[in-house]
Amino acid sequence: MEELEFSAAYRYRPYWPDARQLLALLAFPAACGYTTAGVLGGCMVLAGTGVVLGLWHLATSRARTTVGAAGITVSHGIGRGRTYGWQEVRWVDAAAFVELKEPAEVARITLANGRRRTLPGLSRSRRYPDSGFAADLRRVVGWWELRTLPASRIQPSEGRSLTPLMSRHLPDVLALALGCAVVLLTVN
């Protein structure tokens, strides 16, 4: 079978209804820097915020999942990613959750230690629809079934998992924290 690769680059393309949030994110630190340090301070804070947002966009646009003979490689955009061998993967499924008051679905794997990992590039929502999501998930499951023994496939108990929520919002929280840090460092 041919190696599968699912890129999240198209998932994180600009979503224009969010443009006003981006402008507010840029305007607030610039205004704080301007009021405390003048025009130069405002420009420095705006540039710092722009750099942080640019790095966040670069990282999320490089996120991908690769499925091959060695296992499933998950890369969230920084570094080469982590490969989980087929002997580590106990279950492959889709998790449904609510993102920004809209239903969404993401593919995930459950590992031998019980931890779950989301697969970047394999998700769908109203904002980023993917008509081939079910077929792509089925192809990943096919790879998994061909490379594991039935005895090693253990369906996990359904428990509340924050993995999809964290994987979606952690970059936003980090960008906001770094933006606040830039403002505080510029002001003081």
In DSSP notation, 33-64 reads HHHHHHHHHHHHHHHHHHHHHHHHHHHHHT-E
Evaluate if pTM is beyond 0.85. Answer: no
Between helix 19-61 and helix 163-187 the angle, nearest 10°, is 110
pLDDT digit string, tens, across residues 4-57: 988 877 665 555 566 677 677 777 777 777 777 777 877 777 788 788 878 877
Share the mean pLDDT of the chain: 82
| Banded model confidence at residue 164, pLDDT cuts 50, 70, 90 | low
